[in-house]
């Protein structure tokens, strides 16, 4: 009898199961499917051994019984094939209905295979002495192998074709497992006395276990709580099942422990973890940030549980219960207001960063409005990423008229994004978000490159123009490599720096100001000039002009508008013009829409006028056509 190898396989699987069962686990569908594969493989090996024994003693136990058991062994092989496919489908389909839609067909095939295996004959092949059975063959075996083959082909097809929908580690592990089976069955086919298929199956299961089904991979090493990967998988499953749940998020920052003596902190942290680990009727996850998520799958009972947890934190920690710690609390009463798993951590991050009320309150209950705001912001982020990736960032140009030269001598480059439908999105929609996410660095660079390309293609002198103004965001100004990058771009396009004028605005922090000054110094040395944009919108603009080495000051539209609407504002503007001229700087007046406004500004001695009176910002082609039409004015 050759059952030693199979017995080794059984022992290996029992050891694996021992480790598996001891671990703390969450009820993930994929883990359930893995258990399906595990038990199918286990019974397969067990029946392999059993059938060998029964066949050996078939004279005592009866021939039909021996054949029945041998066929049952074949049926367990089909079980392995079915469970393997189910394991792949669970990963592929989030929705139960989709899963069953595909799986149903294969279950029917499996059932046909089982019926066929039992219905048709099975034969033994004897050893030369005619006593010992070497292996089984006949229609029953062929039915099993034929049906199993369909399953394996389907699995390999899915692994190859559905790459995006199956976890790559799972694809790899299933591949190793199936290849082990196939190689072993080939060896067994050629050398009939080496019965290694069962053992190869158990090795395959070990690979699956070690590569992705070890529940330990779902645990945070330092605390033993579930980790962020588990949080993602579990919430993904809840969303797929369209189940509502509540989430209490505890945020532990350094200031959480500020009232606790340094020496006691570690002990208190351990006590808190111990408490969280013992919480009942909920699952507790910790991510790499400082956030702990407590999920309640029954939102009706969640409120009471949340109060209980808050009460525990209020009652103090440490041996004497005197240490009070204050984590930030965020509560999402109905997480189904979110659309999918990724959005939960995104929402928490968004609220931490953006919602002012969060830091003021110690207990922040997330309302639907916050979720909507988060989605709008994410939509805009996506819009920017999409536009950057698909070359849908465009530059419009708005002409600037020189009162001394009496024609268009410069223009401001203004960014636009084209959405998927081809509609133009103005910067007011996305600049703030681009600044917050850091995407403005990329966006600014794209705009600058396009401007340089434009200057290269259309030499400005041809139209009597001197330079193009390009906006710089405060985030760009505070970026250490800005000067280096922009000089690199000008060099790449062989653009003379005298054609470039960069518009800066007031920086909030002194640190950012220092970096900006460094950047300005390098760029000015190279030959670039600067303007101060948005004058008249801040409070300390006058000081800023003194400190910043700019050549031009741009009056914001709100300032020029109030000149015409408000008697007192007139004096402020006139005084500002006087001072700025005194500093030998030029002025651009923005937002000039009518002839009267233009006339007034000209009479005030303002050197440059920008506004709809001349033109709205125009796409590149239209701007060139506009300049062509005005060519006569300066020739």
Token look-up 């993602």 returns 232
- Shortest approach of Mg ion to residue 425 CB, angstroms? 18
Closest to ligand C2E by CB, 333 vs 444, is: 444
Q: Cα(372)–Cα(377) distance, rounded to whole angstroms?
A: 9
| Secondary structure letter of residue 132 according to DSSP | S
Structure tokens at 631: 């060519």
Decide: 325 and 272 in contact? Cβ < 8 Å. yes
- Shortest approach of Mg ion to residue 501 CB, angstroms? 10
Binding partner at 426 among ligand C2E, Mg ion, none, C-beta below 5 to 8 Å by kind = ligand C2E
Q: Report the side by side order of strands in the sheet with 283-286.
A: 283-286, 291-296, 246-251, 328-332, 363-365
- 330: three-class secondary structure by DSSP: strand
Binding partner at 589 among ligand C2E, Mg ion, none, C-beta below 5 to 8 Å by kind = none
Decide: 84 and 178 in contact? Cβ < 8 Å. yes
Q: Dihedral through CA 251, CA 255, CA 256, CA 262, nearest 10? A: 140
Closest to ligand C2E by CB, 299 vs 591, is: 591
- Shortest approach of Mg ion to residue 505 CB, angstroms? 8
- Shortest approach of ligand C2E to residue 86 CB, angstroms? 53
Residue 123 parent element (H or E): strand 123-126
Binding partner at 414 among ligand C2E, Mg ion, none, C-beta below 5 to 8 Å by kind = ligand C2E
Closest to Mg ion by CB, 237 vs 541, is: 541
Enumerate helices (H) and strands (E) in the chain, giving the number of each: 24, 17
| Burial (Cβ within 10 Å: 0-12, 13-18, ≥19) of residue 571 | exposed
Closest to Mg ion by CB, 336 vs 558, is: 558
Instruction: Give which of 395, 507, 522 is closest to 451, Cα–Cα.
Output: 395
Binding partner at 333 among ligand C2E, Mg ion, none, C-beta below 5 to 8 Å by kind = none
- Shortest approach of Mg ion to residue 416 CB, angstroms? 14
| Secondary structure letter of residue 366 according to DSSP | P
- Shortest approach of ligand C2E to residue 612 CB, angstroms? 4
- Shortest approach of ligand C2E to residue 431 CB, angstroms? 5
Closest to ligand C2E by CB, 509 vs 594, is: 594
Binding partner at 213 among ligand C2E, Mg ion, none, C-beta below 5 to 8 Å by kind = none
Applying CB under 6 A, which residues contact ligand C2E? 398, 414-415, 426-428, 431, 440, 444, 447, 471-473, 503, 533-534, 557, 590-593, 610-612, 617
3-state SS record for 108-128: HHHHHHHHHHHHCCCEEEECC
Closest to ligand C2E by CB, 58 vs 450, is: 450
Q: Cα(635)–Cα(632) distance, rounded to whole angstroms?
A: 5
Binding partner at 620 among Mg ion, ligand C2E, none, C-beta below 5 to 8 Å by kind = none
Closest to ligand C2E by CB, 437 vs 471, is: 471
| Burial (Cβ within 10 Å: 0-12, 13-18, ≥19) of residue 480 | exposed
What's the chain's length in residues?
Answer: 635
Applying CB under 5 A, which residues contact Mg ion? 471, 503, 533, 554
Closest to ligand C2E by CB, 52 vs 532, is: 532
- Shortest approach of Mg ion to residue 534 CB, angstroms? 5
Structure tokens at 431: 């600049």
Binding partner at 582 among ligand C2E, Mg ion, none, C-beta below 5 to 8 Å by kind = none
Contacts of 292 (CB under 8 A, 6+ apart): 225, 249, 250, 251, 252, 276, 284, 285, 286, 327
- DSSP secondary structure string, 118-175? HHS--EEEE-TTSSSEEEEESHHHHHHHHHHHHHHHHHHHHHHH-GGGS-HHHHHHHH
Binding partner at 103 among Mg ion, ligand C2E, none, C-beta below 5 to 8 Å by kind = none
Binding partner at 612 among ligand C2E, Mg ion, none, C-beta below 5 to 8 Å by kind = ligand C2E
Closest to ligand C2E by CB, 19 vs 612, is: 612
- Shortest approach of ligand C2E to residue 593 CB, angstroms? 4
């Amino acid at each position: 009898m050759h059952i030693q190898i199979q017995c080794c396989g059984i022992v290996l699987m029992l050891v694996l199961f021992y480790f598996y069962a001891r671990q703390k686990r969450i009820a993930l569908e994929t883990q359930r499917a893995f258990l399906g594969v595990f038990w199918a493989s286990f019974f397969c090996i067990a029946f392999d051994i059993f059938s060998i024994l029964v066949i050996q003693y078939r004279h005592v136990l009866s021939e039909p019984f021996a054949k029945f058991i041998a066929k049952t062994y074949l049926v367990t092989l089909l079980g392995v094939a079915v469970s393997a496919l189910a394991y792949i489908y669970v990963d592929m389909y989030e929705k139960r209905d989709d899963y069953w839609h595909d799986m149903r067909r294969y279950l029917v095939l499996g059932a046909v295979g089982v019926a066929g295996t039992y219905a048709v004959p099975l034969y033994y092949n004897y050893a030369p002495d005619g006593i010992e059975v070497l292996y089984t063959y006949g229609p029953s075996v062929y039915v099993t192998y034929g049906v199993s083959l369909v399953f394996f082909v389907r699995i390999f097809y899915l692994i190859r074709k559905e790459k995006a929908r199956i976890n790559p580690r799972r694809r790899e592990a299933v591949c190793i497992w199936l290849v082990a089976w196939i190689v072993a069955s080939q060896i067994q086919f050629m050398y009939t006395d080496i019965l290694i298929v069962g053992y190869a199956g158990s090795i395959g299961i070990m690979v699956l276990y070690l590569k992705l089904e070890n529940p330990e991979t779902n645990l945070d090493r330092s605390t033993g709580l579930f980790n962020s990967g588990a949080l993602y998988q579990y919430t993904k499953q809840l969303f797929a099942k369209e189940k509502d749940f509540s989430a209490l998020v505890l945020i532990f920052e350094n200031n959480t422990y500020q009232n606790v003596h340094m020496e006691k902190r570690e002990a208190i942290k351990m006590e808190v973890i111990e408490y969280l680990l013992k919480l009942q009727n909920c699952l507790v996850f910790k991510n790499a940030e400082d956030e702990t998520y407590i999920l309640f799958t029954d939102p009706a009972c969640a409120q009471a549980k949340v109060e209980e947890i808050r009460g525990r934190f209020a009652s103090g920690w440490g041996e004497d219960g005197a240490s009070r710690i204050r984590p930030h609390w965020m509560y999402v009463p109905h997480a189904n207001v979110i659309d999918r798993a990724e959005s939960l951590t995104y929402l928490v991050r968004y609220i931490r960063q953006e919602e002012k009320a969060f830091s003021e309150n110690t207990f922040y209950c997330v309302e639907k409005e916050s979720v909507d705001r988060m989605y709008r912001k994410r939509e805009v982020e996506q819009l920017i990423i999409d536009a950057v990736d698909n070359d849908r960032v465009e530059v419009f140009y708005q002409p600037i008229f020189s009162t001394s030269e009496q024609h268009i001598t410069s223009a401001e480059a203004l960014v636009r994004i084209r959405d998927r439908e081809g509609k133009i999105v103005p910067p007011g929609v996305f600049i703030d978000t681009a600044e917050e996410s850091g995407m403005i660095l990329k966006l600014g660079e794209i705009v600058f490159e396009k401007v340089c390309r434009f200057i290269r293609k259309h030499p400005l002198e041809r139209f009597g123009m001197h330079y193009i103004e390009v906006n710089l965001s405060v985030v760009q100004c505070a970026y250490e490599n800005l000067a280096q990058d922009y000089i690199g771009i000008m060099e790449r396009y062989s653009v003379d720096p005298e054609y470039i004028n960069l518009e800066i605005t007031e920086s909030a922090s002194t640190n950012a100001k220092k970096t900006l000054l460094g950047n300005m110094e390098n760029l000015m040395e190279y030959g670039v000039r600067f303007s101060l944009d948005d004058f008249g919108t801040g409070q300390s603009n006058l000081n800023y002009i003194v400190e910043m080495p700019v050549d031009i000051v741009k009056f914001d539209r709100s300032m020029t508008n109030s000149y015409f609407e408000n008697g007192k504002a007139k004096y402020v503007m006139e005084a500002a013009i006087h001072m700025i001229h005194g500093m030998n700087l030029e002025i651009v007046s923005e937002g000039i829409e009518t002839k009267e406004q233009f006339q007034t500004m000209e009479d005030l001695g303002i050197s440059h006028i920008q506004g709809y009176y001349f033109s709205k910002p125009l796409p590149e082609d239209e701007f060139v056509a506009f300049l062509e039409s005005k060519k006569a004015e300066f020739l």
